């Protein structure tokens, strides 16, 4: 089914559907077999999800005040509908009764997960507690949208027209991206901002852009404080804590852990502390090397600039030497070929209308026919929230094949030139397609566990991080590269330098991710101000002081408007799995091997229908360890 990208009367539509849905819930709660309970709800949620996912998607990628006003009106309706489901004691009992019926292994797992979901969503609450719990969830849905909206507006508010002379250090391709009739316009969109931080010789300009970026949506922002997110963040954290306590947990971190693979809050903290201990000695050496090279007292706006110069000196190339070899069409062609070789599918761009002229529609088939579709939206735009993500439009259900959205904010074409991607952007593309493949390649016929549905949050990043490893393989890079002028593939010399530089400052990067993860889990287990928690974490992880203007948490969408609250550690947890999985597949023959097909079968096709770690062990033949992660990051000094 093709998504309807012209939603009209969305409030009336959602009102009507949710009212219809409550009738379906009532009928399902009287059911006594799988089809009348789970099947009926899956069928309805399939229909409702098509509308809610498109509305959410358009609000993220084509933001307008007019649409957002209507969109916000639908959020309480949707939240209240799902609250009614999760608090329906009769439906909860119907699910529990299904345990006593004849179910297959997947159905048994789905029922166990559903029962736990009911219990974590307050089904056991009564009276005032139940009403308050519903009110909290409704308020959180609105606050999440407000946070995202403020972040987008604050990001778009700051622009600066500069002369060509002020951008000394840029090459002509980079200048072409920002040229306007008035001069050269820089802004806080990630592709433009990162160019400033990496290439501009003008240190004062880097400082100005950096402070504007890290102070977005805050009371000290160089941009307007109208979009200050701090009160929104504080309310979100307070409501999450209250919600957890209503359910009998000490804090939100404890509540979050209940639905994940990890066993406890302490296991997460121990895991992250171990990574910090193993990474910090090497990270300190990496920073000392950078300081010696720069020969100045480094400030945060100097790090990307001098790191790029040091990298160029150490490895004999710079980022801009690579980008001409990675025009968009060749990158996509190479990405599609890699996926085809990995999983025996075909990917074809088809001529189909979409919500924006830049969006490509991808048809995925195998020898049996249609597998699914992906809507690919890669360029940065002012009406599009930052970052990169995959969102599902519909799961596999009957004759309806899976459909996913893949969204990035990458470089776009300019002045007759194709979009030329930096290698980091290519890694991002591979990452998001890993998520999309998890959704599209499912073989699970139950929507509540198809694709990424039902996958524990600390496992959902495995397929995406696993995909990243393949874009460093020689044969894959040859498929991805074709100089936009000469048609030449990336020379072997440059490929060798790229691989040699892959883990440049990897320990610093590891430390930074551990900082985010420790802050996240600790801020959700504390009543302290979130910036006080960050300051405390940084005494353990930070090797450089922060600046007074830094309020980067105020735009940390993963935590305050995404699904990663008390779960940001999942990136590192899943990276352990991904490194271990890739290392194993390589040892068994790599792309197209039986091991790569085993990954598809046990991980991608199974989705959330079976215990995730058990599926991993079936694929791998054993539990993962830290060794492959440390090896892949070339962190040699293990701190022990």
Output the pLDDT for position 177. Answer: 84
With b for 16 or more beta-carbon neighbours within 10 A and e for fewer, the 312-351 pattern comes to beebebbbbbbbbbbbbebbbbbbbebbebbbebebeeee
Contact 384, 344 (CB under 8 A): no
Q: What pairing do the DSSP bridges indicate for beta strands 346-350 and 183-187? A: unpaired
Cα–Cα distance list, 240 to 120, 183, 250, 525, 556 (Å)? 13, 47, 11, 10, 16
Output the pLDDT for position 8. Answer: 81
The confidence band for 502, taking pLDDT boundaries of 50, 70 and 90, is: very high
Output the pLDDT for position 458. Answer: 87
Output the pLDDT for position 225. Answer: 76
Tell me the per-residue pLDDT of 481-492, one tens digit each, with 9 for 90 and over: 999 999 999 999
Output the pLDDT for position 625. Answer: 84
Output the pLDDT for position 2. Answer: 66
With b for 16 or more beta-carbon neighbours within 10 A and e for fewer, the 14-44 pattern comes to beebbeebeebbeebbebeebebbbbbbbeb
The secondary structure element, H or E, covering residue 184 is strand 183-187
Tell me the per-residue pLDDT of 172-229, one tens digit each, with 9 for 90 and over: 888 988 999 999 999 999 999 999 999 999 999 999 999 999 999 999 987 667 899 9
| Percent of the chain surpassing pLDDT 70 | 99
Tell whether the model's pLDDT for residue 420 goes beyond 80.
yes
Strand partners, 406: 376, 390
The confidence band for 639, taking pLDDT boundaries of 50, 70 and 90, is: very low
Tell whether the model's pLDDT for residue 495 goes beyond 90.
yes
Tell whether the model's pLDDT for residue 469 goes beyond 70.
yes
With b for 16 or more beta-carbon neighbours within 10 A and e for fewer, the 511-522 pattern comes to bbbbbbbbbbbb
Output the pLDDT for position 1. Answer: 55
The average confidence (pLDDT) of the chain is: 94
Question: How is residue 70 written in tokens?
Answer: 């209507």
Q: What pairing do the DSSP bridges indicate for beta strands 369-379 and 403-410? A: parallel
Phi, psi values for residue 373, rounded to 5°: -130, 150
| Percent of the chain surpassing pLDDT 90 | 89
Catalytic residue numbers, as ranges: 432
Rounded distance between C-alpha atoms, residue 514 and residue 593, angstroms: 33
Tell me the per-residue pLDDT of 380-401, one tens digit each, with 9 for 90 and over: 998 998 899 999 999 999 999 9
Output the pLDDT for position 640. Answer: 40
CA atoms within 13 Å, Cβ hemisphere of 255: 23
Rounded distance between C-alpha atoms, residue 411 and residue 430, angstroms: 16
Rounded distance between C-alpha atoms, residue 63 and residue 329, angstroms: 27
């Amino acid at each position: 089914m093709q998504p309807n990208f012209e939603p009209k009367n969305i409030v009336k539509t959602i009102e009507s559907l949710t009212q219809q849905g409550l009738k379906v819930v009532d009928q399902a709660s009287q059911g006594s077999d799988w089809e009348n309970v789970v099947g009926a709800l899956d069928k309805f949620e399939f229909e409702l999800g098509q509308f809610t996912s498109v509305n959410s998607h358009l609000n993220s990628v084509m933001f307008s005040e007019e649409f957002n006003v209507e969109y916000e009106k639908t959020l309480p309706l949707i939240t209240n509908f799902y609250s009614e489901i999760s608090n329906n004691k009769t439906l909860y009992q119907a699910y529990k009764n299904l345990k006593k019926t004849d179910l297959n292994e997947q159905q048994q797992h789905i029922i166990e997960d559903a029962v736990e979901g009911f219990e974590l969503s307050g089904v056991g609450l009564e009276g005032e507690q139940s009403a308050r719990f519903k009110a909290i969830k409704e308020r959180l849905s609105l606050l999440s949208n407000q946070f995202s909206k403020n972040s987008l507006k604050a990001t778009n508010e700051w622009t600066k027209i500069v002369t060509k002379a002020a951008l000394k250090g840029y090459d002509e391709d980079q200048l072409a991206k920002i040229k306007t009739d008035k001069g050269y316009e820089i802004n806080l969109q990630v592709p433009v901002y990162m160019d400033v931080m990496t290439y501009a010789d003008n240190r004062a300009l880097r400082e100005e852009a950096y402070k504007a970026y890290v102070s977005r949506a805050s009371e000290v922002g160089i941009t307007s404080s109208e979009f200050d997110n701090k009160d929104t963040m504080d309310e979100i954290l307070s409501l999450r804590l209250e919600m957890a306590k209503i359910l009998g947990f000490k804090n939100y971190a404890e509540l979050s852990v209940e639905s994940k693979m990890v066993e406890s809050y302490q296991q997460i903290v121990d895991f992250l502390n171990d990574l910090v201990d193993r990474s910090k000695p090497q990270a300190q050496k990496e920073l000392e090397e950078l300081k010696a090279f720069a020969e100045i007292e480094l400030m945060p706006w100097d790090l990307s600039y001098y790191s790029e110069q040091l990298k160029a000196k150490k490895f004999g190339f710079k980022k801009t030497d690579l980008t001409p070899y990675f025009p968009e069409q060749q990158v996509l062609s190479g990405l599609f070929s890699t996926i085809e070789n990995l999983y025996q599918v075909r990917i074809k761009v088809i001529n189909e209308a979409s919500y924006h002229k830049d969006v490509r529609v991808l048809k995925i088939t195998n020898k049996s026919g249609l597998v699914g579709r992906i809507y690919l939206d890669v360029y940065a735009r002012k009406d599009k929230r930052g970052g990169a993500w995959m969102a599902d439009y519909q799961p596999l259900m009957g004759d309806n094949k899976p459909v996913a959205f893949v969204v990035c904010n990458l470089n776009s074409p300019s002045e007759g030139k194709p979009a030329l991607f930096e290698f980091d952007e290519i890694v991002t593309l591979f990452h998001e397609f890993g998520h999309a493949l998890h959704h599209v390649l499912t073989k699970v016929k139950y929507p509540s566990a198809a694709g990424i549905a039902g996958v524990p949050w600390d496992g959902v990043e495995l397929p995406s991080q696993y995909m990243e490893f393949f874009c460093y393989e020689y044969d894959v890079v040859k498929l991805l590269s074709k100089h936009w002028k000469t048609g030449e593939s990336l020379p072997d010399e440059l490929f060798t330098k790229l691989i040699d530089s892959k883990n440049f400052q990897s320990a610093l990067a590891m430390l930074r991710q551990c900082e985010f993860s420790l802050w996240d889990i600790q801020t959700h287990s504390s009543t302290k101000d979130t910036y006080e928690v960050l300051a405390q974490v940084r005494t353990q992880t930070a090797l450089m002081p922060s600046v007074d203007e830094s309020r980067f948490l105020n735009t940390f969408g993963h935590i305050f408007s995404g699904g990663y609250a008390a779960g940001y550690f999942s990136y590192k947890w899943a990276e352990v799995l991904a490194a271990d999985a890739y290392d194993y597949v390589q040892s068994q023959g790599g792309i197209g091997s039986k091991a790569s097909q085993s990954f598809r079968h046990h991980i991608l096709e199974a989705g959330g229908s079976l215990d995730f770690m058990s599926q991993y062990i079936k694929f791998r033949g054993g539990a993962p360890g830290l060794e492959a992660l440390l090896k892949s990051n070339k962190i040699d000094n293990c701190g022990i």
